[in-house]
């Protein structure tokens, strides 16, 4: 059996979207797992045709299995190799791409096969433009992984890779104290930007989120720099891309790098004190004013 598409899996088996894309290309789908054995077992039951587990000890990070992943993929060279966007999976995909001397694309909107070519419609330059690319040769695709796939019938046997891990180990883990979130699942999302003066003021936003049944997200500096929320909550070209029914931007200026992440939203509302903020040209409803007055007023109006 010659694998047509390899899926690279790190610490989490959140690969439902990767399986869907790999299956749509036809041919056998293999998965190489650099995470714990339990992840390999979940993947083996997910409907893929072949599973190889790199078998590193528990205190070894997924990244250490880069040579084993590259070796496994190169031993049965595919047309396409796919991975999710987590830092560990990016490193593993990079190792596989380097070994295969593959093209690397990270903005794929659609992927298809046309004779000898892999055709990718690829968003480029922070998603401002799209290119249709025909690739003759191996392609490495970084995609949104999706969720954990449900068990789909019998498990395939788990093979083990032989290559030794790189000299790296986990000596400590600390939780951030932030709740993890899958923004992609939320129907309504409130985005908080630097217009919010203090972390304590998030309580006011949380009250609105509760009233409107929304998840709270943010612009990049709020998660990286101010550190008010986990990094899985920032929206933008290098963060989450969401398509909720409602996106409510509070104190967000509307920079391109943020707004590309919410283009798919059905309705966009923005609150900002600056009437010239770029966000107002990209919204359905704009409220120019003091968010400290408007946010509680909206919360009250919902009751």
Q: Which of residues 18-77 bind another protein (CB under 8 A)?
A: 61, 63-64, 66-67, 70
Residue among 160 and 284 whose Cβ is closer to another protein: 284
* Interaction residues for another protein, span 193-252 (CB under 8 A): 212, 220, 224-225, 227, 230-232, 237-238, 245-246
As a whole number of angstroms, the distance between CA 7 and CA 93 comes to 9
Among 34, 68, 99, 235, binds another protein (CB under 8 A): 99
Residue closer to another protein by CB (options 63, 215) is 63
Q: Which of residues 266-285 bind another protein (CB under 8 A)?
A: 266-269, 280-285
Half-sphere exposure of 5 (CA within 13 A, CB side): 23
Binders of another protein among residues 112 to 141 (CB under 8 A) are 119, 123-140
CB of 55 vs another protein, minimal distance in Å = 18
Q: Which is nearer to another protein, 92 or 209 (CB)?
A: 92
Among 5, 100, 161, 252, binds another protein (CB under 8 A): 100
What residues from 152 to 171 belong to the interface with another protein (CB under 8 A)? 166-171
211 contacts 302 by C-beta, under 8 angstroms: yes
Among 45, 98, 163, 204, interactor with another protein by CB under 8 A:
98
Q: Which of 56, 96, 217, 240 binds another protein (CB under 8 A)?
A: 96
Considering the complex, what minimum distance in angstroms separates the CB of residue 242 from another protein? 13
Closest by CA position to 178, among listed 151, 195, 147, 202: 202
Which is closer to another protein, CB of 28 or CB of 77?
77
173 sits near another protein (criterion: CB under 8 A): yes
Vertex 142: Cα angle to 80 and 181 (nearest 5): 140
Q: How many chain residues are in contact with another protein, going by CB under 8 A?
A: 105
- Which single residue is written with the structure tokens 């990718």? 120
In whole angstroms, what separates CA 235 from the centre of its chain? Answer: 11
Exactly one of 23, 37, 90, 194 binds another protein (CB under 8 A); that residue is 90
Please give the full DSSP string across 29-80, using - where no structure is assigned.
EEEEE-S-HHHHHHHHTTT-SEEEE----TTS-GGGGHHHHHHHHHHS--SE
Min. distance of Cβ 152 from another protein in angstroms?
25
Alpha-carbon distance 37 to 301, whole Å? 51
DSSP track, 188-200: EEEEE-TTS--GG
CB of 97 to another protein, least distance (A): 5
* CA-based nearest residue to 148, from 69, 84, 95, 216: 84
Q: Which residues is 111 bridged to in the sheet? A: 120
């Amino acid at each position: 059996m010659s694998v047509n598409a390899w899926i690279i899996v790190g610490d989490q088996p959140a690969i439902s979207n990767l399986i869907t894309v790999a299956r749509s290309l036809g041919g056998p789908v293999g998965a190489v797992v650099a995470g714990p054995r339990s992840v390999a077992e979940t993947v083996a039951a997910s409907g893929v045709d072949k599973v190889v587990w790199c078998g590193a000890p528990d205190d070894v990070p997924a990244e250490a299995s880069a040579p084993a992943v590259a070796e496994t993929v190169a031993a049965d060279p595919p047309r396409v190799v796919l991975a999710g966007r987590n830092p560990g999976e990016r490193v593993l995909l990079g190792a596989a791409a380097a070994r295969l001397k593959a093209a690397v694309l990270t903005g794929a909107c659609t992927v298809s096969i046309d004779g000898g070519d892999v055709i990718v419609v690829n968003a480029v330059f922070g998603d401002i433009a799209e290119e249709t690319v025909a690739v003759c040769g191996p392609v490495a695709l970084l995609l949104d992984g999706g969720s954990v796939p449900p068990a789909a019938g019998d498990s395939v046997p788990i093979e083990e890779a032989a290559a030794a891990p790189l000299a790296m180990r986990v000596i400590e883990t600390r939780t951030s104290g932030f709740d993890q979130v899958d923004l992609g699942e939320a129907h309504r999302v409130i985005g908080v930007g630097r217009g919010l003066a203090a972390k304590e003021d998030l309580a006011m936003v949380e009250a609105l989120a509760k009233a409107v049944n929304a998840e709270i997200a943010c612009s990049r500096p709020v998660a990286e720099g101010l550190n008010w929320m986990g990094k899985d909550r920032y929206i933008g070209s290098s963060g989450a891309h969401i398509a909720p029914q409602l996106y409510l931007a509070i104190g967000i200026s509307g920079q391109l790098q943020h707004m590309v992440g919410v283009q798919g939203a059905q309705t966009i509302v923005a609150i900002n004190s600056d009437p010239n903020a770029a966000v107002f040209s990209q919204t359905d409803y704009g409220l120019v004013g003091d968010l400290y007055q408007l946010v509680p007023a909206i919360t009250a109006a919902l009751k």
